[in-house]
Structure 1
Amino acid sequence: MTARLPALLLGANSLLLAGVAALNLTLPPPAEVRSAPSPAARLGSVAGQVEVRRGGQETWSPVRPGDVLSENDEVRTGLFSEAVLQLRGHSSVVVSAGSSFVVGRDQVERASFELGLGQVTAAITPAGERRFEFRSRGSDAVAQAREGEFSLATDGRGTVVVDSRSGEVELSAAGQSTTVPKGKRSVVAPAQPPSKLMPIPSSLALQVKWPPVKMDRKVTTVSGKTSPGATLLVNGVLVRADPQGAFSLDVALEEGSNRVVISATDPSGNTTSAESPEIQVDTRPPGLRVDAEGLWK
């Protein structure tokens, strides 16, 4: 009996090991644990109407300060609205009114973004060799910087304006590139390389061709010229100046007395406004005049 005990124990151990091996073969492998990606941006302050469209979705939803933004999320601002995006490394982007901005990929050496329409102002804090890259929808223009502050404006149809307020911005388009230093501006027209450097204007000029003061219809065209890339509100309707600074808009009028009010803002934040003379609209047909005295002659 004593001699058989080790043999029994050895057999039991063998069965136990065989069972454990069989159990390991039937159990699925443990799930791979992946760390959640760090947010590409976070909403700081929000003023007015600001919405986000999450990557791959079609619907827009309101945002709140502190909301996390991931790759391919698009932020848009309404009139008289603004959003501040906090980026990694204490950098930030201000999305101006009437703009749309797409958050891109945030990598160790490069962070990319796309301005769909309107204007953003980027304040970049240096972080080694890390570059911040801003593209513009409707154009192949790319603005890159490692540090400094600059504004980027686009009409979404190929016109791009870059103003450097501090540091240097490398601007490329149509196979050519230029460095925009502090206090300078460069403009990219559709399918064209960056323009020659020019000083950032300290004020904004606005020339307007007003309609006649007496009209017999309820629609008129208001046109004029201002700084390239400027945004204008014409009686509350947003319009953008072309690469030459020209703009034109059909404006609806009402019967009776009217005025057209224009306010303009350029990419550097300069503003100006203008107001038309009083415009009288009378769409009534002229009355039929009858000469009663001549009727009986």
Structure 2
Amino acid sequence: MPSNKFLKNCLQCAALILLAAAAAHGASVSDVRGITLVKVPDSEWFPCVENLGIKNRMSLRTGRNSRIAVRFAGDSFVIIRAQTEVYVDNAPGEILAREDAVHLILEQGEIVVVNRREGRKNEIRVSTPGAALSVQKGVLSIKSGKEEGVTAGVAQGSACAQAKGKTVCMEALQSTRIAPKKPPSAATAAGPQLLAMWREEGLLPEQADGDITLRVTKPEKGTIVSKSPVKVVGATRPGATLTINGKSVPVQPGGGFSADVPLSEGANTIALEARHGDKRASAAVTVTLDTAPPLLTVSQPMDYFDPTVLGSCDSRKCRIQIFGLTEPGVSLFINRTEVSSFVEQDGSFFITDFPLARTETMLRIEAIDASGLKSTQTVTVGMPLDSDGDLRPDHLDMCPYDPSCQ
């Protein structure tokens, strides 16, 4: 009869085979250095190998001089540094798909989250004792210890930390500390230890003596906003002098900077220049200020229109024609139903069979532009035509012009 140890080894081998096969369809382990261990439900700890598929309810543990990376879709990954244990806490019993949002639990140790995917559904969330952190697009490092609490910092992009009902969001080259049973501290410039670790992991550009770099992380090129000023955030060489549109801007000890820049209506070019000794670097970002709501004209139907004339109706609903003019690229809604796909390149829209319930008395058409500004037009639905006045609409009346006809 097989021994318990033999059965455990068989279970571990089976788990490895299953997870290796699943790696092609989901998140997987890469860049294994040193002794690292993995554990799935109903198994003991066993060695972690390259291309191992990541399963929900899986634990990963690194030793004193080891580390691994877990890769997701869109070139996103999580680096699990030495002496760290992480638990994957998504839907139980399923392989973690590449496109899933990710939730990790970090009891103690240090990880670096590199999320290159945009949107809330693609965010990577990390829970630690007493704090929750999230990053949608950026590089977030988290170090957690039972006595020390949590230190979190952002190398690129932005991320947020929440504890004790308070949320603190960080921009590039900023950090926060969360002491045990305390809310996060205000975001400040990242310290030298964080900067050194980011450079070690290749998450900050290497900089030789005398060289200077200038990076703008916010706003992105081509951004459209509806309010002025716009906050410009970025990083340069510590000790450099910086100007934005010719005005001096202070640089934090870690190299980060942040400034509110006023805008004029229309396209604005924001010019930045950093100097250090006889070296200099420049960058430019174009931001458009749009304070005018989008054009919206509804040509048909007009107020108090008869839906039985503009479309086809039955006892429950009508399908009517709606056409008009707005601006290219807007989001168009009619009675909360998005119809943006009907907007042509010249801004015109023509819908031949929009469904309208017989109980609806109003059409509400909304156009929302890229900066969030909205234009709205409402059209009142009239009563169906009743030519003979017998309270039976013509489209349901067998003899619409004879009130005596039943």
TM-score, normalising length: structure 1:
0.52
Contact 1:40–1:104 under 8 Å retained in 2: no
How big is each residue's C-alpha offset from its partner over 1:80-115, in whole Å with a ceiling of 9 and x where there is no partner? Answer: 101011123321000000001112225867321111
Residue in structure 1 matched with residue 114 of structure 2 by the alignment:
123
Correspondent of 1:69 among 38, 54, 75: 54
Work out the CA distance in 1 between the residues paired with 2:183 and 2:114. Answer: 25
Deviation at 1:203?
4.9
Question: Helix, strand or coil for the counterpart of 2:151?
Answer: strand
Where relative contact order (Cα < 8 A, 6+ residues apart) is larger, the structure is 1
Matches for 1:158-237 after TM superposition, within 5 Å = 159-203=149-193
How big is each residue's C-alpha offset from its partner over 1:165-196, in whole Å with a ceiling of 9 and x where there is no partner? Answer: 01111110011101111111101111110012
Residue in structure 1 matched with residue 37 of structure 2 by the alignment:
51
Correspondent of 1:133 among 99, 117, 125: 125
Contact 1:92–1:123 under 8 Å retained in 2: yes
Contact 1:50–1:83 under 8 Å retained in 2: yes
Correspondent of 1:114 among 100, 105, 108: 105
Residue in structure 2 matched with residue 209 of structure 1 by the alignment:
none
Q: Considering only aligned residues, what root-mean-square deviation do their CA atoms show, in Å?
A: 2.5
Deviation at 1:118?
0.3
Unmatched tracts of structure 2, length 5 or more: 1-21, 91-95, 195-253, 255-406
Matches for 1:2-13 after TM superposition, within 5 Å = none
Work out the CA distance in 1 between the residues paired with 2:103 and 2:181. Answer: 22
Work out the CA distance in 1 between the residues paired with 2:176 and 2:105. Answer: 18
Deviation at 1:41?
2.6
Contact 2:23–2:54 under 8 Å retained in 1: no
1:91 and 2:76 matched: yes
Work out the CA distance in 1 between the residues paired with 2:53 and 2:112. Answer: 20
Contact 2:28–2:51 under 8 Å retained in 1: yes
Work out the CA distance in 1 between the residues paired with 2:60 and 2:23. Answer: 20
Work out the CA distance in 2 between the residues paired with 1:155 and 1:135. Answer: 13
Distance 1:203 1:59, change over 3 A: closer
Residue in structure 2 matched with residue 78 of structure 1 by the alignment:
63
TM-score, normalising length: structure 2:
0.38
* Structure ID, larger Rg: 1
Matches for 1:230-245 after TM superposition, within 5 Å = none
Distance 1:203 1:146, change over 3 A: closer
How big is each residue's C-alpha offset from its partner over 1:180-225, in whole Å with a ceiling of 9 and x where there is no partner? Answer: 1111110111111001222111259xxxxxxxxxxxxxxxxxxxxx
How big is each residue's C-alpha offset from its partner over 1:21-57, in whole Å with a ceiling of 9 and x where there is no partner? Answer: xxxxxxxxxxxxxxx8996631011010100011x23
Deviation at 1:122?
0.9
| Corresponding letter in the other structure for 1:46 | V
When the two structures are aligned, how many residues end up with a matched partner?
167
Deviation at 1:150?
1.3
